[in-house]
A and B are shown apart, each in its own frame.
Chain A
Amino acid sequence: MKLARTITHLFLPNESNNLKAKILHSKGLLAIKVFFLLFQVVITFSPLNPISRILGYAANISPQEVIVLTNEKRAESGLPPLVENPTLSQAALAKGADMINKNYWAHVSPDGTQPWAFFIGAGYRYRYAGENLARDFSNPSSAVNAWMASPSHRDNMLSPKYKEIGIGVIEGDLNGIDTTIIVQFFGTNYSDTIPVQPIAQAPISTPIPTNTPIITPNPTFIPTPTSEVKLVNVSSEERSSQVLVSPFTTTKEVSIAVVGLLLFVLILDAIFTSRRRITRIGGRTFAHLSFLGMILAIVLILKAGQIL
């Protein structure tokens, strides 16, 4: 009986709550805000908390699938498929490991190492080179779609200059968050672009003309993997056993629950006040419903993952 009274008091307009559900009062809304902020603090800053220890991003990313999806997008644009190059994949993995080890999320490392240095470090002599980065995506398709939605990343994926591709997928702790990074390296081997000399002709002594600039790596530093670097791709079995709770997904679920509850109570409030012809001082229920409806739509639209 007491529980029923409490529920009615919290969620339905009646005499006990001055004809307005208690959670719609200023104190009720403030309490929801405090709860939400505390929840964020717990999952972000509490390393000793058993919940936050298991938090991490699902690493359900297969490098092969990223290549297949990339080639599908190229085929849709009438471009030839990229060929997987193990040296490029090794270079991509080294770049991912470097980001984890040095704790950065950028094309250029804090010590100024350019992405091209990883190509050279792995022994790949390139004529053209490109890099796409993605993190925190739960599946390869979302990452590829995110790249395609960004003009600069899309240009890389659909460039006719590239002939080869290498994918590195690596898991680790980046700025305190368990994450999965996808490094997508594109390249065209230098030897592929040098025309074969016909045997009967005299060798050309002049340099090969180039209409497009050749990207040159930083000659001062070639990164080499350290013993701390995880240079092993995580197997699919390991990945499936490591699928953990994502902070983004958890926050999204809690957000949907909070907004959904408020929408439900507001609808009940609108029905009660309309039927009983209650007039009171306060915001417009329809306006709050519309605003929170928009918030719910945004929460549903937002997807995990960042690209660079």
Chain B
Amino acid sequence: MKHISKHLPHYISLGIILVSGIVGFWIFQFDRLFQASVAVSVAVAYVVWGIVHHSIHDDLHAAVVIEYLLVASLGLIIVFSLIFRA
């Protein structure tokens, strides 16, 4: 929590990215193409956020980037499997 409050602007920007994703899905509930675009955009933004955040903290390593990529791609697979099955 100390880390979060210390770097509040970072986490506020992350929050805005993620809330935009939820709002986009809520508004365009039956627009598959838009939902897919939102999912990809949020996943990419999340990975970029991770890289920028760790880069600023001087603890950016390949393992960290891979971890963000894996989490983002897992989220993307889950969302895509539901969008194109709905």
Interface residues of A (CB under 8 A from B): 26, 29-30, 32-33, 36-37, 40, 136, 146, 149-150, 247-248, 251-252, 255, 258-259, 274, 281-284, 286-288, 290-295, 297-299, 301-307
Q: How far is the CB of A55 from chain B (nearest CB, A)?
A: 11
Residues in B neighbouring A282, C-beta threshold 8 A? 63-64, 67
Q: Which of B49, B66, B86 has the most CB of A within 10 A?
A: B86
Interface residues in B, total, Cβ within 8 A? 43
Distance between Cα atoms of A232 and B75 in the complex (Å): 42
Q: Would B30 and A146 count as touching, CB distance under 8 A?
A: yes
Residues in A neighbouring B21, C-beta threshold 8 A? 294, 298
Q: How far is the CB of B61 from chain A (nearest CB, A)?
A: 6
Q: How far is the CB of B84 from chain A (nearest CB, A)?
A: 10
Closest residue on chain A to residue B49 by CB atoms: A287
Q: How far is the CB of B51 from chain A (nearest CB, A)?
A: 10
Q: A40-B81, A294-B42, A297-B22 are known contacts. Are A287 and B14 too (CB-CB below 8 A)?
A: yes
Q: Would B64 and A281 count as touching, CB distance under 8 A?
A: yes
Closest residue on chain A to residue B70 by CB atoms: A29
Distance between Cα atoms of A304 and B29 in the complex (Å): 10
Closest residue on chain B to residue A302 by CB atoms: B82
Q: A255-B81, A291-B46 are known contacts. Are A136 and B68 too (CB-CB below 8 A)?
A: no
Q: Would B86 and A258 count as touching, CB distance under 8 A?
A: no
Q: How far is the CB of B57 from chain A (nearest CB, A)?
A: 9
Distance between Cα atoms of A306 and B42 in the complex (Å): 23
Residues in A neighbouring B46, C-beta threshold 8 A? 287, 291
Residues facing A in B19-69 (CB within 8 A) are 19, 21-22, 25-26, 29-30, 32, 39, 42, 46, 49-50, 53-54, 59, 61, 63-64, 66-68
The answer, among B3, B14, B71, B77, for a CB contact under 8 Å with A292, is B71
7 A/B residue pairs, CB under 8 Å, sorted by A: A29-B71, A146-B30, A255-B78, A283-B67, A284-B50, A298-B21, A301-B26
Distance between Cα atoms of A274 and B68 in the complex (Å): 21
Q: A281-B64, A287-B14, A295-B75 are known contacts. Are A26 and B70 too (CB-CB below 8 A)?
A: yes
Q: A248-B85, A251-B85, A291-B46 are known contacts. Are A26 and B63 too (CB-CB below 8 A)?
A: yes
Closest residue on chain B to residue A27 by CB atoms: B70
Residues in A neighbouring B4, C-beta threshold 8 A? 286
Distance between Cα atoms of A54 and B18 in the complex (Å): 37
